[in-house]
Amino acid sequence: MNQPGTAWGRLPGAPQRLVALTDRFQALPDEPSLLTFGNGRSYGDVGRNDGGTLLIGRGLDRFIGFDPATGRLECEAGVLLSEIIDLVLPSGWFPPVTPGTRFVTVGGAIANDVHGKNHHRAGSFGNHILEFELLRSDGQILRCSRDQNPDWFAATVGGLGLTGLIRRATLQLKRVPGPWIRGDSQRFANLKAFFAITAASDGDYEYTVAWLDCSATGANLGRGIFIRGNHAPATEAPPSGRVLRMPITPPISLVNSLSLRAFNTLYYHRPAAQVNQALWHYRPFFYPLDGILEWNRMYGPSGFYQYQCVLPTEGAIDILSEMLGRIGRSGLGSFLLVLKTFGAVPSLGMLSFPRPGATLALDFPNRGAETLALLNTLDDLTRAAGGAVYPAKDARMSAASFQSYFPAWRGFSRYVDPKFSSSFWRRVTGDVA
Ligand X SMILES: Cc1cc2nc3c(=O)[nH]c(=O)nc-3n(C[C@H](O)[C@H](O)[C@H](O)COP(=O)(O)OP(=O)(O)OC[C@H]3O[C@@H](n4cnc5c(N)ncnc54)[C@H](O)[C@@H]3O)c2cc1C
Report the interface residues with ligand X, using CB under 6 A: 8, 35-42, 46-47, 57, 77, 99-101, 104-105, 107-109, 111-112, 114-116, 160-161, 165-166, 289, 392
Q: State the CB neighbour count (10 A cutoff) for residue 378.
A: 20
What minimum distance in Å lies between the beta carbon of 172 and ligand X? 18
Q: Shortest gap between Cβ of 47 and ligand X (angstroms)? A: 4
CB of 161 to ligand X, least distance (A): 2
Give me the residues paired with residue 183 across strands: 229, 278
Residue 214 or 392 having the CB closest to ligand X: 392
CA–CA gap between residue 328 and residue 211 (Å, rounded): 15
Q: Which is nearer to ligand X, 52 or 179 (CB)?
A: 52
- Taking the least distance from each CB to ligand X, the nearer of 103 and 268 is 103
Residue 239 C-beta: closest distance to ligand X, Å? 32
Q: Note the Cα 263 to chain centre separation in Å.
A: 25
**Residue whose CB is less far from ligand X, 13 or 100:** 100
User: Which is closer to ligand X, CB of 141 or CB of 373?
Assistant: 141
Give me the DSSP letters along 66-91.
EETTTTEEEEETT-BHHHHHHHHGGG
Nearer CB in complex with ligand X: 158/222: 158
Compute the least distance from the CB of residue 93 to ligand X, in Å.
Answer: 20
Instruction: Tell me the closest approach of the beta carbon of residue 16 to ligand X, in angstroms.
Output: 12
- Report the nearest approach of ligand X to the CB of residue 68 (Å): 25
Nearer to ligand X, 43 or 221 (CB): 43
Task: Compare residues 71 and 288 and give the one whose CB is closer to ligand X.
Answer: 288
What does the DSSP 8-state code read for residue 160? T
What span, in angstroms and rounded, lies between the C-alpha atoms of 244 and 284? 9
**DSSP reduced 3-state for 54:** strand
Residues counted in the chain: 433
Strands (E), 23-176: 34-37, 53-56, 63-67, 72-76, 93-94, 129-135, 141-144, 165-172, 174-175
We find the least distance from the C-beta atom of residue 57 to ligand X, in angstroms, to be: 4
264 Ramachandran zone, left/alpha/beta (phi>0; psi -120 to 50): alpha
Integer Cα distance of 391 and 9 in angstroms: 13
Residue type at 188 in one-letter notation: F
Q: Is the CB of residue 320 less than 8 Å from the CB of residue 33? A: no
Q: Judged by CB, which is closer to ligand X: 102, or 221?
A: 102
* Dist. CA 234–CA 11, nearest whole Å: 42
Whether the Cβ atoms of residue 351 and residue 158 lie closer than 8 Å to each other? yes
For residue 420, the 8-state DSSP code is B
- Let me know: does 79 contact 62? Beta carbons within 8 Å: yes
- In degrees, rounded to 5, the angle at the alpha carbon of residue 209 between the alpha carbons of residues 208 and 215 is 160
User: Least separation, in Å, of the C-beta of 370 and ligand X?
Assistant: 24
- Quote the least distance from Cβ 411 to ligand X, whole Å: 19
The DSSP call for residue 21 is: -
Alpha-carbon distance of 18 to 87, in angstroms, equals: 29
**Toward ligand X, which CB reaches closer, 166 or 378?**
166
> Cα separation of 100 and 55, whole Å?
24
CB of 34 to ligand X, least distance (A): 9
- Choice between 100 and 221, CB closer to ligand X: 100
